[in-house]
Amino acid sequence: MTLKKIPLPHWGAYLYESRHKAGDLVKIHHHDIHQILYAIEGDGIILIDDQKHKIAKDQGTFLAPYTSHSIFSQTSLTLLVLAFDIHSLKDFGDHKLNNQFFKSSRFFTPDLIASSELRQQLRKMLYEQTTDDPLSSWALKIHLLHILLTLIRLAERTRILDKNSLRTETIKSYIDTHYYEPLTANDIADKLGISVRYVNTIFKESYQKTPMQYLMEIRIERAKKLLRETDKEIITICFEVGYETLSTFYRTFKNETNLSPKQYRDLGQSEA
């Protein structure tokens, strides 16, 4: 695999345009410094350590040193390439540069806020590179730090969203398979090791209802099915779907359907 050296100015970073015609292939190679590739036009495929990613406008990759990568442009593809030596930023806090983020490569799709911030900082860097201002090297480092901060926060938001999505599906699956048990919000929160408030928040973000509201809906739907399709006693159905008292079952069922369980069954039989 080819090591491609990128010469850097004294301040330790360089932003440049990389244009590729449709069908162009940049063969597998690596660098001994960090790179950020950001697409501003076109479509293509980027291979990062044998993992394929489709890349389009406002998507990009963060490449740690010695990461093997190649690029195939499906259409005319324009990338901004930000190459930098991470040690050039040690004046801003060397301990921060040991963040795990800088040690691994990743493909990223920024949200609207992050993409706006990235494009703004990249434009500022392009401008500063054209000036003779003696303060430009400091300005460029500041813009680079802003870009890195944006990417780190984006990665953290993505990690939290992925983790919350997994938790939400875990809650839903647990309710789907344990609705007949005397579940409470505290029971679910304790199993996940998080607060009831947090459980309600993340579940509601996905399903627009709390876990307890979802539990009630599951129980009532199951009860309706049993009332329609079986001749089981209502007290048995009440017990089977997880209600401890008949009065609670009747009240909840009527609140949801505007009918008592008996009325619902009778209506179904008359329609049949």
Tens-place pLDDT, residues 200-239: 999 999 999 999 999 999 999 999 999 999 999 999 999 9
Task: Please count the other Cβ atoms lying within 10 Å of the Cβ belonging to residue 166.
Answer: 10
* Angle in degrees, 0-180, between the axes of helices 136-178 and 185-192, rounded to the nearest 10: 130
Mean pLDDT score across all residues of the chain:
91
Q: Is the pLDDT of residue 272 over 70?
A: no
Q: Which amino acid is at 124?
A: K
Q: Above 60 in pLDDT, residue 117?
A: yes
CA gap 231, 247 in Å, rounded: 20
Residue 127 vs residues 85, 122, 139: alpha-carbon distances, Å: 20, 9, 10
Q: What are 171-180's contacts with CB under 8 Å, separation 24+?
A: 171/199, 171/203, 171/211, 172/203, 172/207, 172/214, 175/211, 175/214, 175/215, 175/218, 176/218, 179/215, 179/218, 179/219, 179/222, 179/241, 179/242, 180/219, 180/240, 180/241, 180/242
- Label residue 271 by pLDDT band (50, 70, 90): low
- The answer to whether the beta carbons of residues 111 and 59 sit under 8 Å apart is no
Alpha-carbon separation of residue 96 from 33, 87, 90 (angstroms): 17, 11, 9
| Average confidence (pLDDT) over 106-125 | 91
Question: Are 70 and 47 a contacting pair, CB within 8 Å?
Answer: yes
Q: Return the SS3 of 15.
A: strand
Looking at residue 164, its pLDDT comes to 86
Cβ-contact 52, 45 below 8 angstroms: yes
Beta bridge partners of 36: 62, 82
pLDDT tens across 64-107, in order? Answer: 999 999 999 999 999 999 999 998 888 776 555 567 788 899 99
Gap between the Cα atoms of 214 and 98, Å rounded: 44
Greatest Cα pair distance in the chain? 88
d(CA 34, CA 25): 21
Q: Which domains are delineated in the chain?
A: 2-160 (2.60.120.810), 179-272 (1.10.10.60)
Q: Rounded to the nearest 5 degrees, what angle is found at the Cα of 34, between the Cα atoms of 28 and 40?
A: 75
Measure the CA–CA gap between 15 and 84, rounded to whole angstroms: 9
- pLDDT per residue as tens digits for the range 121-167: 999 999 999 998 989 999 999 999 999 999 998 888 787 777 888 88
Cα–Cα distance, 140 to 121 (Å, whole number): 9
